[in-house]
Chains A and B, each alone.
Chain A
Amino acid sequence: MIGHAFSIFVHLLLVLLLSPLVTGFNRTFKARVQTRRGPGIFQPYRDLYKLLRKGMVIPDTASWIFTATPFVLFVTTLLASLLIPSITARAPMSLFGGVLAVVYLLALGRFFLALGGLDTGSSFGGLGSSREMTISAIAEPALMLAVFTVAIGAGSTNLSNVAQAGLSQSWRFLAPSQMLAFAALFIVLIAETGRIPVDNPATHLELTMIHEAMILEYSGPYLALIEWAAAMKQLVLMTILVNVFFPFGLSPDWSPVPVLISLALFLFKLLPLSIVVALVEVTNAKMRLFRVPELLAIGFVLGALALVSTFLFQG
């Protein structure tokens, strides 16, 4: 029981502390590729600290939904992170919800976020909510096909079991079904975390913003919670990509040496993924909203191909 609580505590600490760093790395790396200096990879921590201490303005049209949204979003994302193995091969709460619970917890957060956008009564909020819900809805089939491929391959929806299945067959990730599912999930990652070419997290131009439009009225500590939750969501999805498809190095238990190795490998695995995400952002222009379904259709086709190859190569 104490071991369990300890495991939950470490995971919480990891996801809370690491997620701003991933965001900071992404921003700085992009800046360097564009031959800018960039703010430094620790800037998000300073931003969050500043926002948490600032005062806030709440729109006079808003109801309790507006207030509840940052908390619901933060908590659902945090809980989703506890269902995914990040340091040890057994995630602290994976028994209480598998990959379907992860997807639906994130959906619960998004549901409230979209309501929070509508609650302000501004056109921006509605615009952002509408686009966010649309894009996440059409990303869902690709996501689910990839998830199904992984779950079928491992015979379980429990992500710890999936990771363990990967650990027992070390070259499993080379199977065509796994590679195709990885590609499908990567496209979903780009769409779900609001990266270029789907959304531009740095813009404040009305016509192009999606996520930023939804949270336009949030300020101070509430904004900090939402920004932090967005960073955590990105880490959650990236953790699925690296630890479910490439689970090697995950520590079987909590003995110190394997855990430290596992942690180092985790960071090492996140690094190339973050670089690829940043490179995709730098080398692409933002798509028109109605081109996004085409990108997600590619994700869907990749997911379907992943299933077909499971069918062909695993009998």
Chain B
Amino acid sequence: MWPIRELYSAGLLVYAIAALAGLSAYLRKTHAAWIATLLCYASLTAAALEFVASAGALMAGAEFNWSLPSGIPFVHYGVRLDPLSAFFNLTLSLLGACVAVYSVGYLKHGAAHGRPGLFCCFLNLMLLALTLVFTASNVVFFLIAWELVVVTSYFLVVTDHESAETREGGMLYMLMSRAGTGLMFVGFLLLATAAGSMEFQALHGGGEKLSTGVGAAAFLSLFFGFGVKAGIIPLHIWLPAAHPVAPSNVSALMSGIVIKTGIYGMARVFFDFYGDTPVWAGMLVLVAGVVSALLGVLYALMEHDLKRLLAYHSIENIGIILMGFGSALLFRSFGHPQLAALALVAGLFHTLNHGVFKCLLFLGAGSILQGAGTRNMEEMGGLIRRMPRTALFFLIGAIAISGLPPLNGFVSEWFTYQGLLAGFGATPTLTRMAFPIAGALLALTAALAATCFVKAFGITFLALPRSENAERASESPISMQIGMAGLAATCVALGLGATWFIPVFAPITQHAFGVQITGQLVAGNGLLLTAGSVHNGSVSPLVLAIALVGLAGVPLAMWFALGRKSPRTIGPTWDCGLPGLTAANEYTATAFSKPLRMIFAALFRPRREIQAEFDVSPYYPTAIRFASEIQPAFETHIYEPLRVSILAIAARMRKIQTGSIHAYLAYIFVTLILLLIFGVRE
């Protein structure tokens, strides 16, 4: 095996050096474009090192532990590459590498707002911090790395801080993250107190040592704490606010991997710290998954801002991942480790897959933003002729995220379905009904996602351009194309080659449930993916893809035999006899999703306003103004009252914040006395 520890440390070192170099360039007021190029290549190098290290750790299937003392009690800088960490670090470094290549071209066009050094400093620092989050083996060190991710990603999000929208999005992200970290603190403290140690290894199975009530409290605070980061509904509101305003390479990393830190945290807590959980816990996770998936995609459908649309899709996919995790928890509670392993594989595989295609789609959105100068889909159109390669990559991402065969999204959704299907027979009484209902709603979610991506791709890339900017759009530089091509190829490879990738999960399920299911998930000489056994159901994306290509011979042969010689003319589209088809005749994104807005009116509460101006008669309007909006239910009904009450409490708190130094000294004195009383009592 290769020197995993050295490669891993070298990767961290390169990230750190690149970050420092960026900072010093910024401090010396050197803002040349080559700095960004150089530092992006440094990130690429570091990501490549981390990739090799994680791949090695996964293949070896063993754990690697190292630590540095810090001189502070309970804290040491411990890192551990166990299979779960290695898997997430692998995902991170794959996405990091592609985004680094993409950024070389992307940053040349002002995305760093004149501060390439500072931008790359934060970028490298964030990648470094993310690596540490996935590999930290100590609660305190984990939380330090976690906060470093929050801070660096905040600074990256607000790169364009001149815009008020950006500042608000960034602030919301910061606030929600704070709340989430607060909850995580509570959960970790409860667990660590019971275990008497801050080490992850000591926390293994620590959930059982807690009494029922405390165990539940720890579970809930950790689930919701990590849930804020993952963006489960109703804790999602920061996601559609912060992701769109960030530079697109940052959005790609945010959606691709930063929100996955929440998923990593949950996986760590659910399947490492808790050896078993009560039934309600699994049910909670499953329901949270279903709700996030369905509402996420429904809100995405209503968006015509391309990046906000993608951000809502992240919520949807987090929901699909949580359906896998929730089923895994339920199966474990009912004593079916094999099925739990199947569901966990589904969730983890979807985590990787979503990272890859969402990163690809955000990078595509970045290319469009640079090429056409807008995020608003209503101003796009016809880009497939102007940006043919970006269009192809975006299409691959769209097919993958819609869960269509034979790409990677299909494979992980297929496993999720199989997990849910098995749930009916494996769980007692009414619990079993939850699984097929969740499956039906997953089907609805997937079909709505396909609808949404028909809209996203069709309105953006097809037909006529709807604005001058779209008409003048041009293809992005080669480095950006390479970054996207890498991710698109990964989508194809993980779909067609899923059978060769699945064994990666063997050590993870071994560690979590003591079973290695992956041997049973692959059959037929590596051609078939199965749901536990060939009899339960099997699929082969590779054979399906080959068959699709082979069967194309049938229509081609018919066309060759009969229609080859017939004329093929290019003509105008039918315009009902009116002179000339213009972009105004095209369906818009808003119109495309109108039927669904009407069908789900109870959720959206759509409101529209039409004002017509006329001179002589209302039948001959001279101008019409149309406005339409949907009600953001969670913002109005949950967060607005919350904000009002927090402000009300803060106004009362002001009374004790006198600003007088004497008062504050008195507070400190009283606190000290109280602490001594309670501390010495035992």
Contact = CB atoms under 8 A, between A and B. Distances in A.
Interface of A: 12, 16, 49, 52-65, 70-71, 74-76, 78-79, 82, 93, 95-98, 100-101, 103-105, 107-108, 110-111, 114-115, 118-127, 129-131, 133-134, 136-138, 140-145, 148-149, 151-152, 155-158, 161, 216-217, 220-221, 224-225, 289-290, 293, 300, 303-304, 307-308, 310-311
A173 B592 CA distance: 41
Contacts of A119: 458, 462-463
B385 interface: yes
Given A78-B551, A96-B544, A98-B537, A122 B404 contact: no
A307 B436 contact: yes
Interface residues of B, number: 87
B558 A52 contact: yes
B642 to A, nearest CB: 33
Given A59-B572, A104-B410, A158 B548 contact: no
Contacts of A58: 568-571
A155 B536 contact: yes
A148 B440 contact: yes
Contacts of A290: 595, 598-599
Nearest to B464: A121
Contacts of B587: 118, 123, 125-127, 129-130
Contact of A151 (B462, B537, B559): B537
A95 B539 CA distance: 7
A300 B599 CA distance: 15
B23 to A, nearest CB: 46
A115 B463 contact: no
B534 A95 contact: yes
Given A121-B581, A122-B575, A129 B569 contact: no
B439 A114 contact: no
B402 interface: yes
Given A97-B544, A115-B458, A290-B598, A158 B538 contact: yes
Contacts of A60: 570-573
Best-buried of A82, A131, A152 by chain B (most CB within 10 Å):
A152
Contacts of A149: 436
Chain B, interface SS category: helix
Contacts of B668: none
B599 A138 contact: yes
Given A151-B421, A293-B599, 9 more contacts: A79-B544, A115-B457, A121-B464, A122-B575, A125-B587, A148-B424, A148-B439, A151-B537, A158-B537
A244 B11 CA distance: 55
B636 to A, nearest CB: 25
B414 A144 contact: no
Interface in B554-610: 554-556, 558-559, 562-563, 566-575, 581, 583, 585-587, 591-596, 598-599
Nearest to A56: B568
B524 interface: yes
Interface in B419-456: 421, 424-425, 432-433, 436-437, 439-444, 446-448, 450-451, 453-455
A61 B585 contact: no
Contact of A56 (B425, B566, B595): B566
Chain A, interface SS category: helix
Contacts of A64: 384
Contacts of A161: 535
B539 A57 contact: no
Contacts of B446: 107, 140
Contacts of A224: 563
Contacts of A120: 463, 573
B566 A71 contact: no
A49 B562 CA distance: 8
B572 A101 contact: no
B213 to A, nearest CB: 33
A76 B563 CA distance: 21
A-B CB proximity, top 5 nearest: A126-B587, A157-B537, A121-B463, A118-B458, A144-B443
A59 B572 CA distance: 5
Best-buried of B399, B537, B548 by chain A (most CB within 10 Å):
B537
Contacts of B534: 95
Contacts of B442: 144
A290 B600 CA distance: 11
A142 B421 CA distance: 15
Contacts of B599: 134, 138, 290, 293
B344 interface: no
B569 A71 contact: no
A12 B535 contact: no
Given A52-B558, A60-B570, A136-B447, A129 B454 contact: yes
Nearest to A293: B599
B531 interface: yes
B463 to A, nearest CB: 3
Contacts, number: 274
A79 B458 contact: no
Contacts of A142: 440
A97 B539 contact: yes
B88 interface: no
B652 to A, nearest CB: 49
Contacts of B458: 114-115, 118-119, 126, 129
Nearest to B410: A104
Contacts of A145: 436, 439-440
Contact of A133 (B382, B424, B454, B559): B454
Nearest to B297: A137
Contacts of A12: 551, 554
A119 B385 CA distance: 12
A119 B441 CA distance: 30
Contacts of B454: 111, 114-115, 118, 129, 133
A303 to B, nearest CB: 7
A59 B403 contact: no
A55 B586 CA distance: 26
Interface string B121-143: 00000000000000000000000
23 contacts: A16-B554, A49-B562, A56-B567, A57-B569, A61-B382, A63-B385, A79-B547, A79-B551, A96-B527, A96-B547, A100-B537, A115-B454, A121-B462, A131-B595, A136-B447, A137-B596, A140-B440, A140-B446, A144-B440, A148-B440, A152-B436, A220-B563, A289-B595
A127 B534 CA distance: 42
A137 B444 contact: yes
Contact of B544 (A16, A105, A137, A140): A105
B555 A70 contact: yes
B540 interface: yes
Contacts of B554: 12, 16, 74-75, 78
A284 B165 CA distance: 52
A7 B384 CA distance: 41
Nearest to B405: A104
A82 B539 contact: no
A290 B597 CA distance: 11
B552 interface: yes
B459 interface: yes
Nearest to A49: B562
B555 A74 contact: yes
Nearest to B546: A96
B418 interface: yes
Interface string B452-491: 0111011101111000000000000000000000000000
Contacts of A118: 454, 458-459, 462-463, 587
Contacts of A148: 421, 424, 436, 439-440
A221 B562 contact: yes
Contacts of A308: 433
B183 interface: no
B450 A137 contact: yes
Given A118-B459, A145-B436, A145-B440, A155 B425 contact: yes
A59 B575 CA distance: 11
A311 B410 CA distance: 29
B107 interface: no
B602 to A, nearest CB: 12
